[in-house]
Structure 1
Amino acid sequence: MSFAREIGRAIRSTLVLWVITALIYPLFTIAFGQIVFPFQANGSILTNDRGQPVGSALIGQPFTSDRYFNSRPSTTNYSTADPTKDEAGVLKTGVSGASNLAPSNPALLDRIQGKTDPDPTKSIEGDIPRLQKAGIKPTADLIYTSGSSLDPHITPEAAKAQISRIAATRKLDTNQLEILINQNTDGRWLGIFGEPGVNVLKLNLALDKLKPAS
């Protein structure tokens, strides 16, 4: 077999593999995703009751109002900070990532427990005192950030710990909120993997639709 024929065969094989892997397979994957899993393929975007997109079910958002279930803390403020005006340094770890602070790190302890200083501008209200002041029993996920700092979920226990505050603010019955949490709790994947969690954005969208008990 001549050298030229070998070269021709190699070129044809390369072209065929390129068409399969660079054109056919990606196009098939896109079409399959759009037809079978359109919600997931387009970013798992959630909308409000007016049909307006409000965020992705995969990425957390900061909720701090007493009218809503609060999210877990985020070292990057869920990447909502302006990198050009990042005085608080929330984006030092990038748009996603953990703080990597050791349990004994003063910065972590100040954020969790708080810090008093003769100079009021240097005092810090810790997450635990803030939660206790709001009548919320602190849970681990309401105090510690996730590894990505973009976690959209909290535990059912963390959601239920906020029931009294939201019920008082919205004039709702506590049973309504407990039922709402149960309805919006995601179970373990395939029944065995992971832990149950509550998507905070989904829960708060459902909360806005809830009417006071008659």
Structure 2
Amino acid sequence: MLSQFRAAATLLVAFTLLLGLAYPLAMTAVAGLVFPGEASGSLVSLNGEAVGSRLIGQSFTTDRYLHPRPSAAGTTGYDASASSGTNLGPTSAKLAARLEADGAALKATTGAKLLPADAITTSGSGLDPDISPAFAALQAPGIAKARGLPLAQVERAIAGATAGRTIGVLGEPRVNVLAANLALDALSPASAPGAAPAPGTPTAANTAPAG
């Protein structure tokens, strides 16, 4: 009995050290060498300072910037420490009221008759870094007006931040909001007098959508 216990304990300790310590450390080291950007969080830097991540959305609230889709993460939206959706289903009156109000406001602002779904709906994580090309195109005229830029320049900045389907078949084309806004700032810096804060700088708080 004692010999069996000793063998079992030895195997437990050995595999704990091997699979619980050595293997994770080795994989972390390999990932850092082979994929340094991804291993460090896919951070985006500006002038040597991290301003965000390509994988985690953040809020932009001024007319000079491309806005992400609504977020229910945290009390103000895009709270990376409180990733979540609203858990409201298609029969929810609260969700329907929020979608109707947000849709009407966006239509009044843009003059659009039809809206892309992601213009008023939240994602499951509340931290989606991308929006659809259709939603980005809807915002482009307003951004051009706010920045005093030709619409074509704004559209080129958005196109430069647009990715197609992964390996040509997975997912949908998407626009990375942070990348597009950094490109817009390169055309018309946010540091100009009276301009909005640069990406990564906290902006006026939003109230997280109810649905």
TM-score > 0.5 by shorter chain: yes
2:180 to 203, 206, 212: 203
1:79 aligns with 2:79: yes
Write the distance in 2 (CA, Å) between the matches of 1:46 and 1:136.
33
What one-letter code is carried by the residue in structure 2 that aligns with 1:95?
A: A
* Higher Cα radius of gyration: 1
Write the distance in 1 (CA, Å) between the matches of 2:6 and 2:150.
76
Bigger relative CO (Cα 8 Å, ≥ 6 apart):
2
Where in structure 2 are there 5+ consecutive unaligned residues?
A: 190-211
- Give the corresponding residue for 1:91: none
1:135 aligns with 2:132: no
Write the distance in 2 (CA, Å) between the matches of 1:9 and 1:106.
62
C-alpha contact 1:64 1:71 (8 A) present in aligned 2: no
1:193 aligns with 2:180: no
C-alpha contact 2:44 2:50 (8 A) present in aligned 1: yes
C-alpha contact 2:57 2:178 (8 A) present in aligned 1: yes
Where in structure 1 are there 5+ consecutive unaligned residues?
A: 81-93, 114-125
C-alpha contact 1:136 1:161 (8 A) present in aligned 2: no
C-alpha contact 1:136 1:162 (8 A) present in aligned 2: no
1:46 aligns with 2:31: no
Post-superposition offset of 1:197: 0.9
Moved more, 23-32 or 181-190: 181-190
1:89-112, CA deviations, whole angstroms, 9 ceiling, x for partnerless residues?
xxxxx9222222233433223322
What one-letter code is carried by the residue in structure 1 that aligns with 2:186?
A: K
Q: Secondary structure at the match of 1:78?
A: coil
C-alpha contact 2:147 2:188 (8 A) present in aligned 1: no
1:211/1:64 CA distance change after superposition, 3 Å = closer
Q: Secondary structure at the match of 1:162?
A: helix
Moved more, 28-37 or 178-187: 178-187
Matches within 5 A, 1:29-40: 29-40=27-38
| Cα RMSD for the two superposed structures | 2.1
What one-letter code is carried by the residue in structure 1 that aligns with 2:79?
A: S
- Give the corresponding residue for 2:17: 19
C-alpha contact 1:59 1:152 (8 A) present in aligned 2: yes
1:168 aligns with 2:145: yes
Question: Among the aligned pairs, what percent are the same residue?
Answer: 41
Write the distance in 1 (CA, Å) between the matches of 2:129 and 2:2.
59
1:103 aligns with 2:101: no
Moved more, 170-179 or 101-110: 101-110
